[in-house]
Amino acid sequence: MAWVEVNDCAIRYEFRQGKGPVYVLMHEMGGTLESWTETVSYFPESAQILRYDQRGFGLSEKIVGDVSIDQHIEDLAALLDKLEIHEPIVLAGVAVGAGIAIGFAARYPKRVSHLVAFAPACGIAAEKRDNAMLKASEIALKGIRAEGQAIFDLAFPESLQTDKQKYHDYRCAWLASDARSLGAIYKMLAGLDLSEALAKLSGKVVFIGGEFDVLRPPAEITRLSGLCPAAETLIIPSGHFMQVNSPKYVANMLFGLVHDKKSAHQISEEFLSHEENRFGAVRHAT
């Protein structure tokens, strides 16, 4: 692990160098670079992987006041520059991390060879924004356990708690997030509209939604894909925190898109056709 200062923010990151393109992994709201640890374990040891604690989370500098998606986009651009990563990256994100990834790919298309957005958070419906703004303020003021826990419970339902220790550890890590930072990110999300960015995306773009995701249900992923002509869209048996619920699937998808030269649908169908890659009563992807 290491730290770097970019855009007046201290960022913790891990860059595993090796061969081939660099995979950049963006975590979810309330997550950390460790959210990707199990997924990374399924990659070949030679794969180059960059993951980092986004502004406000993990051991990176916390947010005071408001934050914008532009800051997050430029944090990534500056981090890549600091690490002298100039070749196009394979960019993957989950939830809010996917929203940041979409914004980055739209702004810097030549820096991204592949974009994979898992349960992308691209904004909140207009009729729900006032309530979302209120929730953001309450999270920042009263804390995550008091006001944010209900969001986590929706995102990680009992049907996906097939590994109780993993669920326990991940829940505790989420609750331990900085409340002001999480509230600021939630407020950012409430005012976010990535429609223009979605329309600009080009190249290899894949959107993946979870069948059991209440926060970003399949209908929302399908709606977003309709705004992005470049996107190949999948709905798979998984949840909101896909890299935690289905780390083997996520790693297989990311590596396969680059090295197998198959469509996302082909990679997904082949993986899910093997019973050993399904688990639990709902047979979610592993």
146 assigned to some structural domain: no
Q: Residue 261's pLDDT is what?
A: 80
Is residue 206 within a helix (H) or strand (E), and if so which, with residue range? strand 204-210
Q: Is 147 helix (H, G, I), strand (E, B) or coil?
A: helix
> Could you tell me if residue 261 is inside a domain?
yes
Residue 144 within any structural domain of the chain: no
Phi–psi pair at 43, nearest 5 degrees: -80, 155
Whether the CB-CB separation of 106 and 201 falls below 8 Å is answered with yes
Confidence at residue 144, expressed as pLDDT on a 0 to 100 scale: 95
Asked whether residue 186 is assigned to any structural domain, the reply reads no
On whether residue 182 sits in a domain, the answer given is no
Residue 244 included in any domain: yes
pLDDT, tens digit (0-9, with 9 covering 90-100), for 112-156: 999 999 999 999 888 889 999 999 999 999 999 999 888 999 999
pLDDT value at position 126?
A: 84
Looking at the domain assignment, is residue 56 inside a domain? yes
Q: What are the start-end ranges of the E strands in 58-203? A: 89-94, 112-118
**2-6 and 9-16 beta bridge pairing:** antiparallel
> pTM for the whole thing?
0.97
Question: In Å, how far from its chain's centre is CA 128?
Answer: 22
CB 179 within 8 A of CB 148: yes
Q: Which helix (H) or strand (E) holds 26?
A: strand 19-26
The number of distinct structural domains making up the chain is 1
Q: What CATH number has the domain bearing residue 29? A: 3.40.50.1820
Q: Which domain holds residue 97?
A: 2-124+194-285
Q: Tell me the C-alpha distance between 107 and 11, whole Å.
A: 21
For residue 157, the one-letter residue type is P
| Rounded CA separation 286/277 (Å) | 5
Phi, psi of 93, rounded to the nearest 5 degrees: -145, 155
Write the pLDDT tens digit of every residue in 18-77. 999 999 999 999 999 999 999 999 999 999 999 999 999 999 999 999 999 999 999 999
- The helix/strand/coil state of 53 is coil
The confidence score (pLDDT) of residue 231 equals 97
Sole residue written with tokens 């926060």: 215
Cα-flanking dihedrals φ and ψ of residue 178, to 5°?
A: -75, 120
In a domain, 14, yes or no: yes
Structure-block tokens of residue 110: 């030549």
Q: What angle do CA 206, 224, 147 make, to 5 degrees?
A: 105
